[in-house]
Amino acid sequence: MDFCSRKELIAQTGHQPEAWPLVVLKEAADNSIDACEDQGIRPLIFVTVDARGIEIADNGPGIPEATVESICDFSVRVSSREAYVSPTRGAQGNALKTLIAMPFVLSDQAGEGRLDITAHGIRHEITLHVDRIRQEPVIERRRQSAERIQSGTVLRVHWPDSSCSILQRAKHRFVQMLGDYTFLNPHLSLIGDWFGERWRVDATSPAWPKWRPSDATSPHWYGVEQFERLIGAFIAHDADGSTDRTVRQFVSAFAGLSRPDKQAKVLKETGLARVNLSALRDGDSLNHELTRKLLAVMKNHSKVIKPAALGVLGKTHLSERFSALGCDMETFNYRKVADVTEEGLPFVLETAFAWSPDAEGRRIITGVNWSPGILNPFRELGRFGQSLDSILERQRAGEDEPVVFLLHVACPRVEYTDRGKSAVVIGGEQHSDEEE
């Protein structure tokens, strides 16, 4: 029932119902772009809002039926990526579950909520209502043939009529957020359709290089805590499937350790050759001395990943987008910092600014790991917890000024302070006033 009341769903998504159309867009678009990148496909997403609801279609590999099945099982979280440390858009593994519950909660829990997922020639019509006797959600899935759609995924959230005004009021920010995606993703092409009003934005750099969700994770991105979490997740996962991977197999999946000679060195120095991963277990916990040693040795034998390998939006791309917004390009200013945090995490921070004479007010585009913030995720910056907003105000770029400002950070370990991924702490770093 964690998803089935207004209060619970506000906690799960981190946002009030007024912002739920934006939550749908963010979660679905993140999934679509991630899936395309994983397969090396240049992402094209098609977002339609009409009287029936919100639809996000992509040209990706198509969500597998087994994944749809597990999304419908509210007793498990889906994402296998949850324990990995990597610069990804989403990794909690429950976003689609919140989207199943959303239409039900919006209909004041009266009728049924419905979400359709179409992929691989099948349309899964997923409905949710609550069994009031057992206080349990009842999720039903009907499979229909949808031969017309053989590739990609189409996700449609049936927005209840009774909440149509929420959708209408979200229009401005919804359309803006679609634009934000094209600022933060040089390889993305996008078609938008709001009740028949259509527009298209083409990729500025279809072959844009960036770190892909399927790329190997680096030992240098882990502290002992995250490392033990990953090992624990693997041991538990293996035990469920009655297998037990070796330490060598575990090590081989990391960036810089895919070569057998490297693995041999790690195993020799840790004394873990021909040992299964479950040997790191110590009762209900892990042998901390061993996991610490393993992590240190793995770091020793692998190179660090350079910040730029995460992906850089770049001046050319951003100036094209700013120019298309009608900015005065004489005033365009771009800065980039590609560095490593005190904890050794690579990051790329980019900002861009321009005066936009015809704009009605300030436009701020913020994002973390190529996904735009619904709210500005940089609400507290620096040692004294100032917000990005107050810093801009001080720079005479207040809310009413016709300026465009962009701030993006890519970093493998981003700590969100809430479940809705709407506020971030990056690398635990604190910058001083001057550095801001």
Residue 23 engages Mg ion in binding (rule: CB under 5 A): no
Name 112's Cβ contacts closer than 8 Å, sequence gap at least 6. 104, 127, 128, 129
Cα first-last separation, the chain: 43
153 binds ligand ATP per the rule CB under 6 A:
yes
Residue 63 interacts with ligand ATP (CB under 6 A): yes or no: yes
189 and 44 Cβ atoms separated by less than 8 Å: yes
346 interface partner picked from Mg ion, ligand ATP, none, CB below 5 to 8 A per type: none
Q: Which is nearer to ligand ATP, 33 or 272 (CB)?
A: 33
Is residue 333 within a helix (H) or strand (E), and if so which, with residue range? strand 328-340
278 contact choice in ligand ATP, Mg ion, none (CB below 5 to 8 Å, kind-dependent): none
218 binds, among ligand ATP, Mg ion, none (CB under 5 to 8 A by kind): none
Q: Which residue has the tokens 């720079």?
A: 395
Read off the tokens for 347: 């990051």
> According to the binding rule CB under 5 A, does residue 213 interact with Mg ion?
no
Among 53, 60, 179, 420, binds ligand ATP (CB under 6 A): 60
Q: Of 12 and 163, which has the nearer Cβ to ligand ATP?
A: 12
Beta strand residue intervals within 159-209, DSSP E:
189-194, 197-201
Helical residues (DSSP H) of 222-287, grouped into ranges: 224-240, 247-252, 260-270
DSSP 3-state of 254: coil
Interacting residue with Mg ion among 90, 179, 372, 382 (CB under 5 A): 90
CA–CA distance, 408 with 365 (Å, rounded to integer): 8
Binding mask 20-49 toward ligand ATP (x if CB under 6 A, else -) reads -------x---xx--x--------------
What angle do the packed helices 288-300 and 224-240 form, to 10 degrees?
A: 110
Closer to ligand ATP by CB, 35 or 295: give it. Answer: 35
Partner whose footprint covers residue 246, from Mg ion, ligand ATP, none (CB < 5 to 8 Å by kind): none
Q: Which residue has the tokens 């004489």?
A: 330
DSSP 386: B
Residues 6+ apart with CB under 8 A from 370: 33, 89, 184, 185, 210, 311, 408, 410
Any contact of residue 81 with ligand ATP (CB under 6 A)?
yes
Identity of the residue, 359 or 375, whose beta carbon is nearer to ligand ATP in the bound complex = 375
Residue 98 interface partner, choices Mg ion, ligand ATP, none, CB cut-off 5-8 Å depending on type: none
Selected range binding ligand ATP among 9-17, 76-84, 345-353, 388-396, rule: CB under 6 A? 76-84
Q: Does 116 bind ligand ATP (CB under 6 A)?
A: no
Binding mask 25-44 for Mg ion (x = CB under 5 A): ------x-------------
> Which does residue 55 bind out of ligand ATP, Mg ion, none, counting CB within 5 to 8 angstroms by kind?
none
Cα–Cα dist 68/314, whole Å: 36
> Distance between CA atoms of 6 and 133, rounded to whole angstroms?
19
Q: Which is nearer to Mg ion, 95 or 295 (CB)?
A: 95
Q: How far is CA 6 from CA 18, 248, 359, in A?
A: 12, 47, 36
> Binding segment for ligand ATP among 55-63, 161-169, 249-257, 358-366 (CB under 6 A)?
55-63
Which of 67, 205, 226, 386 contacts ligand ATP by CB under 6 A?
67
Residue numbers of the site for ligand ATP (CB under 6 A)? Answer: 27, 31-32, 35, 58, 60-61, 63, 67, 78-79, 81, 90-96, 153
